[in-house]
Amino acid sequence: MESMSNPVYELKVYSPFLLIGAFIVCIMGAWVTMRLVTRISETRGGQRIGWYLMAAVAGSTFVWCTHFASMLAYHSGAGGHLAPIRTALSLLVIFVAIPCAVGAAIRLRGWGGCLTGGTILGLGIAGMHYTGMAAYRLDAPVVWNTPLMALSIGIGIGLSTVALRLALQPAGLRREIEMTLAMAGAVAGLHFTGMAAMHVIMRAHMGAMHDNQQFQMIGFAVLGGSLLTIITGIASYVIDGSLRRESYGELHRMAMSDALTGLPNRISFNERLAEEVARSDQRDRPFAMIGIDLNKFKEINDTRGHAAGDTVLVTLAKRFCALLGEGEFVARLGGDEFVALHRMVDDRELHGFVKRIQQALNQPIQIDDYMVTSGGSIGVAVYPIDASDGETLISRADMAMYRAKSDLHQNVWFYESSLDQNVRERRALCEDLKQAMAKQQLSLHYQVQTVVATGEVSGYEALLRWNHPTRGSVPPLEILELADESGLIIQLGEWVLEHACQAAAGWEGNICVAVNMSASQFLEPRFVETVRGVLERTGLPASRLVIEITEGTVQRDRTRALLMAQKLHALGVRFALDQFGGENSVLAALCDFPFDKIKLDRLVMQQVTTDPRVAELVRAVTIAGHALHISVLVQGIETGDQLALVYSEGCDEGQGYLLGAPGQTITGAAVRHVGGGQTPRLQQAGQKSRRFHSSPYFVPRFESSGIRYETV
C-alpha cells in the first residue's frame, strides 16, 4: 500500500500552472471581497443589499474557484470524476455563508461580532472545501487525518475573524494589505491543510499515474470564469468608487462654497484662516484680514428686487476672484458680507490690495437697463499685530469695518486699540440700559403738535430721554440702537407706550399722544394685544393714541405690517407715517395703510427756505394728503419763514422748537392752546402768492400764556 500524502511527494504531483492561477485568483478575490465588505459597512438601505449580493458573488466565486483549481491541480495517481450535485452544493454553501458572516460582524460590532462572523465564514469555507472533496470521486481508497482536518477549520475561522475585523476598520493601505492576506490565508490555509489531511491509498495493480489532463483543462476553465467574475467585481467597485469620489467631491464643494456666488463660504474661510494663522506662526510672516460689508445692498434689494441683489453679489464675487493674486483669498460669509485674507510683504502691498477691493466695489453694475453702485465699508486687522488668534482677528476686523460703516467720510478703517475701548463702552452701556428702567433713569418728554392755522394744540409726541448717572443725557437715537443691540427694543417700546398713555390719560380735553414704534415692536405678533392691554390699564381712549411708524417698518414686512395696522385701526387707534419725505420714501404706502396723518421729516424744513423745489414738494404732499383725507404735520419748524411757508401751503399741523421744545410735564394752558387762543391772519396787498419767497410770514412772540403769532 502506497500513500500519496507525503508533503514532498505531493508537491511534485501538483500542476504548477494551475497552482499559480489559483494563487492569483485567491489574492485578487480576497482583496475584492474585503473591499466589498468595507463598502457594505459604509452604506445603508437598498445600496447595502446590492453590496451584500456583490460580496456574496465575488467571495463565493474566488473561494470556490481557488479550491477547485487547486484540487484539480493535484495529481492523485488514480482516476476520478466530479459529482455535479455535490459540486454545486459546495458553491451554495459559501455563497450563503459570506453575507451571513458579514451581517453578523456588522450588526454585533467589535471583536465579538467579528468572531461570530469569522466563525460563520470559517465554517462556510470548510463546508465548501469538504463538500467539494466529497464530490471528487477517486478510484482509490481515501483516509482522512482528523487532527489536520480540525486544524484546517481552526485556521479558516481564525484568519476569517482577523480579515473581517480589519475590513471594518478605517481605511488605509496597510489595512488593505493585511485584510487581503488574512482572507487569502484563511482560504489557502484551510485548503492545503485539508488536502494534507487526505491520504490516497495506491494499490500495486493501479500501475502508473493516471493522466489528469482533462481535469487540468477543467481547472483552467474554472480559473478563467473566476477571473472574469472577479474582474467584473473590481470594475463595479472602481466605477462605484469613482462615482462616490465625484459625489463626495461635489458635496464637499457644496459644503465649502457659497451656493449663489461660488465663493468659499464661512466653513471654508474658517479652515483657511486656521491655516494662515499656523503658517504665520511658523514663518513669522504677518497677514491681514479684510472685512467687507456692502453699503447700499438693502436699498438695491428694496427698490430693485432680490434678483437685482443677487446679480450684484454674483458680479462682485467675479470681480473679487479676478483681482486675487498669490497668497490672497476671498469668501462670502453670508448676506452682503465678504471677507478677504492677504499675506503681507509690506504695507504698500496691503494698501494696494485694499484699493483693488474698493475699485471692485465702486465700479457700477448694470442690471437690465439701469446701473447701480453698491459701494462698501472695509475694515482691516493684521495678525499677529492686532490679534493673537483667529477669533480675535475676526472680531477686530469687524470692529474696524463697522467703524468704517458709521463714518460718513472714510469707508476704510484699520483696526486701532481705541476701537476696543469703544466696544467695551458700548457693551457697558447696553448693560446700563437693562438697569435704567428699574432705576427710573428713563423719562418721557413731550413735544407739542399744533394746528397751523389756529395755533390750537392737536397733540404731543412722546420722546424718550435717558439721564445716565455718569454720561448724562444719552441721545434718543443711541438709546434705540443700544436697545436693539441688547435685545431690549420690545421691552423698551412697551415701557414707552405704557408711560405715554398713562400721562395722556391725565390731560384735559381730547389731546392725542403720539408714540413712535420700532419695526421690531410693531411687527411683533402680540403687539395688538399689548396695545389693547395698555389702553385698558391706563383708561386712555384708543382714538387719542397715535402710533407712528416709518416707511422702513412697512418695507421690512409689508404683509404683516398691513395686517397689524388694520387690526389696530379696528381698535380705534390712529396712525401716523413718520419721517415722510426722508430717505427711501414709498408713496404707495399712503394708499394701502389706514394712516390718519403724514409727518413730513425735519430734513424737508431744513431745505425749504433755500430750495424752491422743496416748497413745491411740501405743497404736493399736502394736496396728496388732503385728497386721501390724511392730515399733514410738518416737523422741524424752527423759524418764522418755515412756519409761514407751512401755513401758506395749507399744512394742517406743525411741530418744532419754534412752537415748543420737548418738556417733561404738560400744563393745562398748554394743553388747550399754544397761542393763547389768538388766530394769526396772514394778509398781503395785491395778488396772493403761494411761493415761499413772496409769502407773508408771522413771527412768534413768547408770553406767559404760551406763543402769540404776530403777522408781518
pLDDT by 10-residue block (mean), the chain, 712 residues = 40 66 84 85 78 83 82 66 80 90 88 91 91 78 86 93 89 86 92 84 51 50 59 63 63 76 91 92 91 85 80 93 91 92 88 92 85 87 90 89 77 76 67 75 87 86 83 76 75 89 89 89 88 94 92 78 90 86 61 84 83 84 88 90 86 89 69 45 32 34 39 38
Around Cβ 685, how many Cβ atoms within 10 Å? 6
Q: 473 has which bridge partners?
A: 467
Burial 157-191 (b: 16+ CB within 10 A, else e): bbbbbbbbbbbbeeeeeebbebbbbbbbbbbbbbb
- Is residue 237 within 8 Å of residue 35, measured between CB atoms? yes
Cell numbers describing residue 308 = 437685482
DSSP element (H, E) containing 589: helix 588-592
Extract long-range pairs of 483-488: CB within 8 Å, 24+ residues apart: 483/433, 484/518, 484/520, 485/426, 485/430, 486/430, 486/431, 486/433, 486/434, 488/433, 488/434
pLDDT value, residue 584: 53
Which is nearest to 121 in space by CA: 51, 34, 219, 48? 34
Question: How do beta strands 597-600 and 631-634 pair?
Answer: parallel
Q: Give the distance from CA 46 to its chain's centroid.
A: 31
Q: 460 has which bridge partners?
A: 448, 513
Question: How do beta strands 287-294 and 337-343 pair?
Answer: antiparallel
DSSP element (H, E) containing 466: strand 457-468
Distance between CA atoms of residues 446 and 513, nearest Å:
9
pLDDT value, residue 226: 61
- Is residue 130 within 8 Å of residue 175, measured between CB atoms? no
Q: Largest alpha-carbon pair distance within the chain?
A: 155
Backbone angles phi, psi at 300, to 5 degrees: -65, -45
CATH class of 266-415: alpha beta
Distance between CA atoms of residues 511 and 501, nearest Å:
11
Contacts for 479 with CB less than 8 Å, ≥ 6 apart: 433, 464, 466, 492
Relative orientation angle of helices 110-135 and 173-196, to the nearest 10 degrees: 40
- Is residue 134 within 8 Å of residue 88, measured between CB atoms? no
The size of the chain, in residues, is 712
Burial 11-50 (b: 16+ CB within 10 A, else e): eeebbeebbebbebbbbbbbbbbbbbbbbbbeeeeeebee
pLDDT value, residue 485: 66
For residue 278, give Cα distances in angstroms to 49, 464, 583, 656. 45, 50, 47, 60
Which is nearest to 637 in space by CA: 697, 585, 590? 697
Alpha-carbon dihedral 515, 521, 526, 532, rounded to 10 degrees: 0
pLDDT value, residue 12: 40
650: left (phi over 0), alpha (psi -120 to 50) or beta: left
Q: 442 has which bridge partners?
A: 466
Question: How do beta strands 442-451 and 653-654 pair?
Answer: antiparallel
Question: How do beta strands 376-383 and 287-294 pair?
Answer: antiparallel
Q: In sequence order, which ranges of 74-203 are alpha helices (DSSP H)? A: 84-108, 110-135, 146-167, 173-196
Q: Is the peptide bond before 680 cis (omega within 30 degrees of 0)?
A: no
- Please list the helix, strand and coil fractions of the chain in percent, rounded to the nearest 5, in that order: 60, 20, 25
Q: What is the CA radius of gyration of the chain?
A: 45
Backbone angles phi, psi at 414, to 5 degrees: -95, 140
Distance between CA atoms of residues 68 and 241, nearest Å:
31
Cell numbers describing residue 703 = 408770553
- Is residue 411 within 8 Å of residue 464, measured between CB atoms? no
Distance between CA atoms of residues 103 and 117, nearest Å:
7
Q: Where are the domains of the chain?
A: 2-206+217-247, 266-415, 438-711
For cell 388766530, the residue is 679
Which is nearest to 226 in space by CA: 18, 479, 413, 401? 18
- Is residue 59 within 8 Å of residue 65, measured between CB atoms? no
Backbone angles phi, psi at 478, to 5 degrees: -70, -35
pLDDT value, residue 708: 42
DSSP characters for 610-676? T-HHHHHHHHHHHHHHHHTT-EEEE----SHHHHHHHHHTT--EE-STTT---BSS--HHHHHBTTT
pLDDT value, residue 230: 64
- Is residue 31 within 8 Å of residue 167, measured between CB atoms? no
> Exposed, middle or buried, 704 (CB in 10 Å: 0-12/13-18/19+)?
exposed
DSSP element (H, E) containing 574: strand 574-580
Query: Which of the four CATH numbers 3.40.50.10540, 3.40.605.10, 2.40.110.20, 3.20.20.450 does domain 438-711 have?
Result: 3.20.20.450
Distance between CA atoms of residues 393 and 277, nearest Å:
10
In the chain the first and final C-alpha atoms are separated, in Å, by 148
- Is residue 360 within 8 Å of residue 292, measured between CB atoms? no
- Is residue 198 within 8 Å of residue 149, measured between CB atoms? no
Q: In sequence order, which ranges of 417-509 are alpha helices (DSSP H)? A: 417-436, 476-486, 489-504
